[in-house]
Amino acid sequence: MAHEESVKLEGTFLPVTTPFNPVTGDVDYAAFGANLRRWFGSPIRGILIAGSTGESVFLDEGERSKLIEEARAVVPDEALVIAGTGSEATRHTIQLTQQAADAGADAVLVSPPAYFKGAMTQETLISHYGAVADASPVPVLIYQVPLRLSTIEFSTGLVATLSDHPNIIGIKDSRGEIGLLVELVEQSADGFQVLTGNGSVLYPALGIGAVGGIVAVGLMAADQAANISVAFREGRLEEAERLQEQIASVNQSIVAGMGVPGIKAALDLLGFSGGGPRPPLTPVSELRIEEVKGILETADLLECVGV
């Protein structure tokens, strides 16, 4: 089934971090809003709230909803707000999805239930995602979580089957393998939108038919990541390739190599509110902070903040 009237996802999205008060551990909504205002100084298409980078598994339902509400009050009207709503139970996933829509999310990103991994057959996953999509007031994206985390790997055939559902409009695939993205683009229903979740391959992903990306490296390099999509769309391919080369090592070293604590340390160095992650995650060491600073300097990302 084609998705002619679905939400359009072309461009670069940022899977935003969640800042916490260092004393109370509560979500720092003022810092969250300040970060968003600065990120939207770049031509990003929108944001993902409560994704892996947003420490979704550590957020309670009230925090998720308030983050969406705070974002809706800050982001430009034309920007999209996607919310992560995956949970282990179908019933709970539906509840989170409906809450996200009520709070102002334009679409939801649903990770697979992975705790009972051996029981998650293709038929079970089709039933789960179908029930969520049937009940969702907003369009649903499938989330192929990075395989370094606890997750399920979707077969291309499973995604192709799910792409026939009129309310399942796309996938964020964070595996970073272009060959698999090609399969998804070629075998999914017309209008089904493939986005990469790996900032090292945004430019080549666009070249094979992906519509954009939801990439954490863009939190540290919003201009570069956003303009990869803009330059590609406008036919300035050499510029898009140059920008990709600039940020690829940052993605590999910080996003893939250090995860959320490393990303938050980088944000602090860049003048954002990064802060520490929520326990049991721990901040990076002072030695790691120096390593992060060196990576950002090498990529020419610290010049604009005078570090």
Distance from the Cα of residue 125 to its chain's centroid:
21
Compute the distance between CA of residue 197 and CA of residue 205 in angstroms, rounded to an integer.
10
pLDDT in the model for residue 2: 58
Tokens coding 214: 């939801």
The mean pLDDT of the chain is 96
Determine the average pLDDT of the residues in 25-38. Answer: 98
Compute the distance between CA of residue 139 and CA of residue 121 in angstroms, rounded to an integer.
24
For residue range 118-162, list pLDDT tens digits in order. Answer: 999 999 999 999 999 999 999 999 999 988 887 899 999 999 999
Give the residue among 242, 243, 262, 264 at the shortest CA–CA distance from 252. 262
69 contacts 103 by C-beta, under 8 angstroms? yes
H or E, element range at 178: helix 178-187
100 contacts 137 by C-beta, under 8 angstroms? no
Determine the average pLDDT of the residues in 80-102. Answer: 98
For residue range 33-61, list pLDDT tens digits in order. Answer: 999 999 999 999 999 999 999 999 999 99
Higher-scoring residue by pLDDT: 148, 260: 260
172 is catalytic: yes
pLDDT in the model for residue 307: 44
34 contacts 69 by C-beta, under 8 angstroms? no
Residue partners of 241: CB distance under 8 A and separation at least 6:
203
pLDDT in the model for residue 1: 54
H or E, element range at 64: helix 61-74
pLDDT in the model for residue 150: 79
Residue range 11-240 in CATH 3.20.20.70:
yes
Tokens coding 122: 């293709």
User: What helix, strand, coil percent values describe the chain, rounded to 5?
Assistant: 50, 10, 40
Residue 51 identity (one-letter amino acid): G
**Of these residues, 8, 66, 172, 293, which one is catalytic?**
172
Burial of residue 146 (CB within 10 Å: 0-12, 13-18, 19+) is middle
Give the residue among 143, 113, 118, 114 at the shortest CA–CA distance from 128. 113
pLDDT in the model for residue 158: 97
Cβ neighbours of 288 (radius 10 Å): 16
Cβ neighbours of 79 (radius 10 Å): 18
Determine the average pLDDT of the residues in 85-107. Answer: 98
SS3 77: coil
Residue 229 identity (one-letter amino acid): S
Compute the distance between CA of residue 178 and CA of residue 205 in angstroms, rounded to an integer.
6
